[in-house]
A and B are shown apart, each in its own frame.
Chain A
Amino acid sequence: MGISPQILAVAALGIAVATWGFYLVALAKNTLSGLPWGSIALMLVALAGGAYAIVGLSTAPVIAPAAVGITMSGLFLGLLSIRKTPIGAITVAVGGHILPFSAQSATGSPFDSASLAGQRVLLKFFRGSW
């Protein structure tokens, strides 16, 4: 194998960082559809490259970037594997009435669902701000 473990380790780290970057930008822009196969492939390459580099030469300058690259790509693949949401527990159904609720609004005033009566409303449950 012609590539030195040092270069391989740094390359693995670079690929992992770049893929995370591209992925998060795509996520923020909401341009993702389905599984990001390109990112998955790159992360697998980073994972394998990092591991191969460590096996090839276990010195600090190799282990440090390779380990970070492995962690980042492993985290990516791990997070992706738990992406499915556990749907099924929803307590309301189409054709049924909404459940009365109350909450605090961003203006600080209390909000009561009774105030929605007589209005057409798109009620969004969302993840929260990033």
Chain B
Amino acid sequence: MRRFEELKGELAKHGVTVVALSKDSLADVTMQAKRDKLSFPLLSDPHLKVIRQYGVEHHKGVEFSTARFSIGGIPLALVPSVKAMAIPTSLLIDEEGVIRWIDQAEDYRLRSDEKRVMQAVQDAFPL
């Protein structure tokens, strides 16, 4: 998400703003927005309401958590666990609410590539 913060200037040239949503709790997204100094809306969908509405739920996503084993708040290990989460998906939407581009990661390990995103933005909303 930090990379999208950096991309913000480029996106703004095309008049595009970023909105991001995940299954993280409100406390988690608040922490992330502060930690990564994100200025775009970061949305919390802990019950996967929106994620399921859009059909982008990954039932067996693997998440690495540092929270489970800790002594005095110091994490001891990165513990992988299987969780329902969003399939990384980007939707480019125009002023009318029409979807102009959809990008989904075939491989959940990999995240959206900036070049691909900027190319799609350029194609949909040329300068």
Report the contact-size class of chain A (Cβ under 8 Å from the partner): 35 or more
Interface contacts (Cβ under 8 Å), in number, total 209
Q: What is the CB-to-nearest-CB distance from A107 to chain B, in angstroms, rounded to a whole number? A: 8
- Whether A92 touches B17, Cβ cut-off 8 Å, given contacts A122-B11, A122-B91, is no
B100 at the interface (CB under 8 A from A): yes
Decide: B28 and A129 in contact? CB cutoff 8 A. yes
- Whether A116 touches B21, Cβ cut-off 8 Å, given contacts A101-B50, A103-B45, A127-B61, is no
Bound-state CA distance A93–B108 (Å) is 20
Decide: A122 and B16 in contact? CB cutoff 8 A. yes
Bound-state CA distance A120–B86 (Å) is 22
Q: What is the CB-to-nearest-CB distance from B60 to chain A, in angstroms, rounded to a whole number? A: 6
- Candidates A75, A96, A123, A126; contact of B80 at CB < 8 Å: A75
Bound-state CA distance A124–B97 (Å) is 15
Give the dominant DSSP class at B's interface: mixed
* A-side contacts of B56, CB under 8 Å: 89-90, 125
Bound-state CA distance A81–B97 (Å) is 37
Report the contact-size class of chain B (Cβ under 8 Å from the partner): 35 or more
Bound-state CA distance A94–B99 (Å) is 5
Bound-state CA distance A90–B31 (Å) is 29
A window 75-92: CB within 8 A of B? 75, 79, 82-87, 89-92
Decide: A127 and B85 in contact? CB cutoff 8 A. yes
Q: What is the CB-to-nearest-CB distance from A100 to chain B, in angstroms, rounded to a whole number? A: 9
Decide: B17 and A121 in contact? CB cutoff 8 A. yes
* A-side contacts of B23, CB under 8 Å: 128
A95 at the interface (CB under 8 A from B): yes
Decide: B108 and A85 in contact? CB cutoff 8 A. yes
**Can you list, as one digit per residue, whether each of A45-73 has a CB less than 8 Å from chain B (1) or not (0)?**
00000000000000000000000000000
Determine the residue in chain B with the shortest Cβ distance to A36: B109
B111 at the interface (CB under 8 A from A): yes
- Candidates A32, A75, A125; contact of B109 at CB < 8 Å: A32
Decide: B85 and A108 in contact? CB cutoff 8 A. no
Bound-state CA distance A91–B99 (Å) is 12
Decide: B64 and A130 in contact? CB cutoff 8 A. yes
Bound-state CA distance A97–B98 (Å) is 4
Bound-state CA distance A79–B100 (Å) is 33
Decide: A104 and B106 in contact? CB cutoff 8 A. no
- Candidates A86, A98, A102; contact of B93 at CB < 8 Å: A98
Bound-state CA distance A108–B110 (Å) is 29
